[in-house]
Amino acid sequence: MVLQKRLDYGFNGFQVPVTPRAPRSARRRSAINKRVEDNSMGAFDLLATVAGKLLLEGESSPASSHTSTGKEKCTIINESCSLKVEPSDQGSCDRKFFVSDNISQGHNQSCSLKESPVHQNESHSVMTTSNCSERFVSDMLVGEKCKNEIGSFTSKIQAGASVYRESGECKLDGEAKVIVKDETNKRGKVLIGSGADMCSLEDPMVWEGEPPALVSSDSSTKVPVCVDRIPQKSIPVSRDDVKVVSRDDDENSSGCTHPSTTTRYLRTAPRIGDRRIRKILASKYWKVAPKLKDEAHSNSYMRPIYNGRKNGYKRQRSQMNMPFKKRKIFDRSTVLKSNGGISSESFFDSGEKGITGNAPASCSKMQGAKAISSSVAGQHSSFKSRNSHVKLRIKSFRVPELFIEIPETATVGSLKKTVMDAVTAVLGGGLCVGVLLQGKKVRDDTKTLLQTGISQDDQLDSLGFTLEPNPSHIPTPLCSEDSPRMLPCDILQPLTRYPPDPTSETSLEPHMAALGSFIESDHDSAPSPTDTSADKSTTDSKALVVVPEMSAEALAVVPGNRKSKRFDIGQRRIRRPFSVSEVEALVQAVEKLGTGRWRDVKIRAFENAKHRTYVDLKDKWKTLVHTARISPQQRRGEPVPQELLDRVLTAHAYWSQQQAKQQLKHPESCVLV
DNA sequence: CTTAGGG
DNA sequence: CCCTAAG
């Protein structure tokens, strides 16, 4: 029973700076450039480059924030509740992004759409020019096709001359540049300036391959076609809504026992510990797909998947020992600076009726909103540099719609954090990058930029990138020893869907009512492993829960990874001393289950303490035993009641004996109790 | 993925 | 807490 009133916020999308945080030296410009080897690279390489960029941005980030205390650099605007994710310039801020109001974005505002609660399950696409002078809103097909495109967001990309103006252009937003060599095309279209005053000198289109079926001038027709071509199953999820309930206090985490608001995603398998996720994400190297001759004829939108997950666990610090192969890959995604400039413009407008871009989210309750992230494409200008590189600058990406539910009594700080978590979860999770050319999705990753026409000056105008929920849940193409296998998105596993059941909001309750488990935060009054009180879950003001959406279309899109994985990347977990109550629970569980069944212990007593993995419990037991054996004077930290330590020794002795007995009886078989 | 142990 | 070998 939820006693607290909640405020629901539906965020259709966030504009996310591509480069949340550039090196100090480069931060001023906030631009990051990427250089891609040559023109022969396949489209996938381009994707990997772009996507890799995104991931890389987050990896070096010092982790953050579980214990964030709402100091995030965020601001909330009253009326529209429009939030914007922006790169954080604050040195002390660990985060890459921060949420702030988007109201001030004048140019964006002009593009915003009015809210329209109705037809929320329809998806639309909006195309705008940088100055928003144009706006195309076209209804996209509703239904299957529509779903496919849902959740994707497009970045606006513009290629421009190296002479782009730094002023007035790239202020807050980070930018990413993609530089691709293009040996053949010398003809150039130069885009000067940015935003409203950008202009370009066009060249006649010259297609090497098949010309695009669309006319770039008319966006209204572009989009539908684009959608049309999206494989039905490529994006199994129709929305990115996430309902998050956060604690109503700001969580000035006392010590480490109050992990603070944490987002919990349905898709999460209880058994999967943070650790694994973190590890997977830790491997931030995007492997650029090798030439895939075999797949050359495939039309499918390909994406790489990898076999060995173990390889993906490699952490940053392991890089030095990384095989050359890996390092090479890593190097390849290394960000290079470029003096070349380009202009682009951020895209913020969303096609979503109602919840949109700027004034979006509206403070209104978005209950059951079927908001669907719309795909946004932008106008692009291009420029061909002499060195035959195609230079692109991606100013920003939009994050798919988020759905947040938070208690009325929550503090602004916690709201910020909640949003932050949701956003970072999306960012940190698996995202696919899609390439749009002339509004058409380029699915054949094996084609070269040249072949697809991406390297064509004219085409650069209509080149766009989209970030889409990764259908595979796999934290996107990460480093792997094995060569990536390319598989069409179509056959990838769809994300777990939320039950269509409108009452599903309560379906999560069971998760919260674990046997005397610790709910995310530990309290001194923590329950003993035996008192199974379901009441605890009812108090959802304590923990974060992702509440499923009502509509059948409402699907969990937030990439499987919970909370801000990105920040965890490469980061050692924060130390969280076990509280006495936790020790109590541990001891009790071990007394019952014995040593050697840590997973069971975890499930039994720490089911909801997500930060405690069974390995942690095992380690803790180990230290407990050690602690119990040493003199009280030598012990450190919060003193553990001698009574508990005695039980530890007793239990340890008992189970050790049991184990020994089993060994004698069945030396071969495993120990079962 | 789990365990078990060393670091 | 991390990392890894083993199963």
Q: DSSP 3-state assignment of A449?
A: helix
Encoding tokens for residue A61?
């980030």
Cβ contact A604 with chain B strand, < 7 A: no
Distance A603 CA to B5 C1' (A): 22
pLDDT of residue A653: 92
Provide the total of helices (H) and of strands (E) in chain A, helices listed first: 17, 21
- Measured at the alpha carbon of residue A295, what is the angle toward residues A291 and A298, in degrees to the nearest 5? 135
Question: What's the token pair of residue A566?
Answer: 């990105």
* Cβ atoms of A542 and A518 closer than 8 Å: no
Could you identify the residue whose CA is nearest to the C1' atom of nucleotide B6? A619
Q: At residue A426, what is the residue type?
A: V
> What token pair was written down for A476?
């996107």
Instruction: Give the C-alpha separation, A373 to A381, whole Å.
Output: 25
Phi, psi (5° rounding) for residue A136?
Answer: -120, 125
- State how far the Cα of A39 lies from the Cα of A339, in Å rounded to an integer: 20
Q: Which chain B positions come under 7 Å from a protein C-beta?
A: 1-7
- Residue A296 Cβ under 7 A from any strand B atom: no
Give CA–CA dist A95/A63, Å, rounded.
7
Q: What is the pLDDT of residue A400?
A: 62
Cβ(A473)–Cβ(A235) below 8 Å: no
Instruction: Answer for the pair A457, A387: CB distance below 8 angstroms, yes or no.
Output: no
For residues A121 and A549, what is the distance between their CA atoms, to the nearest angstrom?
A: 12
Q: Which residue is nearest to nucleotide B2 (CA to C1')?
A: A599
How many angstroms is C1' of B1 away from CA of A600? 13
Task: Report pLDDT for A581.
Answer: 93
Q: For each successive 10 residues of chain A (673 residues), what is the average pLDDT? A: 31 37 30 30 39 37 32 30 37 33 32 30 29 28 31 33 29 33 32 30 30 31 28 30 30 31 33 37 33 30 33 34 32 29 26 30 28 32 55 70 71 78 68 70 75 69 66 36 28 27 28 33 34 36 30 34 50 89 94 93 92 95 94 90 93 88 63 43
Å separating the CA of residue A387 from the C1' of nucleotide B4: 57
Question: Is the CB atom of residue A271 positioned under 7 angstroms from any atom of strand B?
Answer: yes
Contact A386, A233 (CB under 8 A): no
Q: Measure A618 CA to B4 C1' (Å).
A: 9
- Between CA A25 and C1' C4 the distance (Å) reads 39
Q: Which residue has the tokens 């909330």?
A: A76
Protein contacts on strand C: list nucleotides below 7 Å from a Cβ.
1-4
Nucleotide nearest to A570 (CA to C1'): C2
Amino acid A227 CA to nucleotide B7 C1' distance, rounded Å? 54
pLDDT at A28 (0 to 100): 29
Determine the pLDDT at residue A670.
Answer: 45
Q: Is the CB of A596 under 7 A from strand B?
A: yes
Question: CA dist A329 to A23, A197, A463, A552, Å?
Answer: 21, 39, 25, 41
pTM of the model: 0.31
